[in-house]
């Protein structure tokens, strides 16, 4: 075959592979109030209370090597959220079964589409339903993982900024409620993005704001719990404004196993900036470190024996080297 024809064939083959990968991603499954449909066909009515008032309860899980991790913890938090908002699901809506079915459908669709069966996330979203109707809206759907974001976190560490925006006080709703009412997170992250971009920091496009509570102590980011490392001590925020994460307990257990002391204390921005590191934990990224907080730069993950030891244990727990995975897909 002539060289030009070989090159055309190679480009066409690559295009076909990429096209099948995109098509498989576009056909992610979704379940909405009793029906399985392609995710792109899911539509919330404009008079749904979740649209009109952002009243919602949500969970986002992910697979590791094709397996859901921490499902029981996510479902317990979701059930608690439903009770807080006052939503009762029909007895026939088995959320655990729906999540498992969604995982199976997503894996089969990608395999049939001849696309790489990479890991993905599952979102469970519930609203009180449409105005004037006594019928909640429940959606369970698969979604892509943000591989570029994850690879950047692992490669550079995440850029953090202390936000002027505060977490929602318990007088509004309890921190244990995971909801899509997230405007405070959005504003905090937009401010962090603008500041990090102006400073031309590596990984600036994925910067995040760390919210304060009403006492001026650090709480969390929009996607992660935080913990300070001070020598062999790991300190989590002692604040009522922190959503209890599903990944953090695994990391704290691993830290104890490698000889670290784990405590919970109020954390001021000044103390955080003087720490050796900030560790972040979340359902999508599992465990990563901060690049910086404001003007304070931290030690890289690779230079911390404690972090490497804890990360190795966590990877063993979830069954995959998620850092290598993200870097290879990105």
Closest by CA to 203, choosing from 287, 282, 291, is 291
Place 272 in a pLDDT band, splitting at 50, 70 and 90: very high
Please say whether the beta carbons of 47 and 130 come within 8 A. yes
Domain topology for 3-144: D-amino Acid Aminotransferase; Chain A, domain 1 (3.30.470)
What pLDDT score does 112 carry?
A: 67
23-40 pLDDT tens trace = 344 479 999 999 999 999
Alpha helix stretches (DSSP H) within the chain: 3-26, 49-52, 71-85, 95-112, 147-156, 183-198, 248-257, 269-274, 305-318, 322-329
pTM: 0.89
What pLDDT score does 302 carry?
A: 85
The CATH class, in words, for 148-329 is alpha beta
Cα dihedral 99→103→104→108 (10° resolution): 150
Please say whether the beta carbons of 255 and 262 come within 8 A. yes
95-120 pLDDT tens trace = 999 999 999 999 987 666 555 568 99
**Which residue ranges make up each domain of the chain?**
3-144, 148-329
Rounded Cα distance between 298 and 308, Å, is: 15
62-99 pLDDT tens trace = 999 999 999 999 999 999 999 999 999 999 999 999 99
Residue 127 has pLDDT above 80, yes or no: yes
Place 22 in a pLDDT band, splitting at 50, 70 and 90: very low
């Amino acid at each position: 075959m002539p060289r030009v024809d070989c090159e055309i064939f190679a480009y066409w083959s690559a295009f076909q592979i990429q096209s099948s990968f995109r098509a498989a991603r576009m056909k992610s499954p979704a379940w909405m109030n009793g029906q399985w449909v392609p995710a792109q066909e899911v539509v919330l009515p404009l008079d749904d209370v979740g649209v009109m008032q952002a009243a919602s309860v949500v969970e986002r899980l992910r697979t590791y090597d094709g397996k859901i991790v921490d499902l029981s913890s996510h479902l317990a938090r979701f059930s608690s959220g439903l009770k807080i908002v006052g939503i009762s699901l029909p007895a026939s809506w088995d959320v655990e079964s729906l999540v498992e079915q969604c995982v199976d459908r997503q894996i089969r669709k990608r395999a049939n589409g001849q696309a790489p069966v990479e890991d993905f996330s599952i979102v469970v979203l519930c609203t009180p339903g449409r105005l004037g109707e006594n019928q909640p809206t429940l959606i369970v759907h698969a979604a892509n993982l943000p591989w570029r974001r994850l690879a950047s976190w692992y490669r550079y560490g995440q850029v953090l900024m202390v936000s002027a925006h505060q977490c929602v006080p318990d007088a509004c709703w309890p921190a244990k409620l995971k909801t899509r009412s997230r405007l405070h997170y959005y504003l905090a992250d937009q401010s962090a993005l603008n500041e990090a971009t102006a400073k031309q920091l590596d990984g600036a496009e994925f910067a995040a704001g760390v919210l304060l509570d009403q006492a001026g102590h650090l709480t969390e980011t929009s996607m992660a719990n935080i913990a300070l490392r001070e020598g062999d001590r790991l300190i989590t925020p002692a604040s009522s404004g922190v959503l209890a994460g599903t990944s953090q307990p695994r990391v704290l257990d691993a830290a104890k196993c490698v000889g670290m002391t784990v405590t919970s204390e109020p954390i001021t921005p000044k103390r955080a900036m003087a720490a050796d590191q900030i560790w972040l934990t979340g359902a999508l990224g599992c465990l990563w470190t901060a690049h910086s907080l404001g003007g304070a730069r931290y030690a890289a993950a690779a230079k911390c024996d404690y972090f490497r030891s804890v990360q190795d244990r966590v990877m063993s727990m979830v069954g995959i080297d998620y850092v290598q995975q993200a870097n290879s897909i990105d």
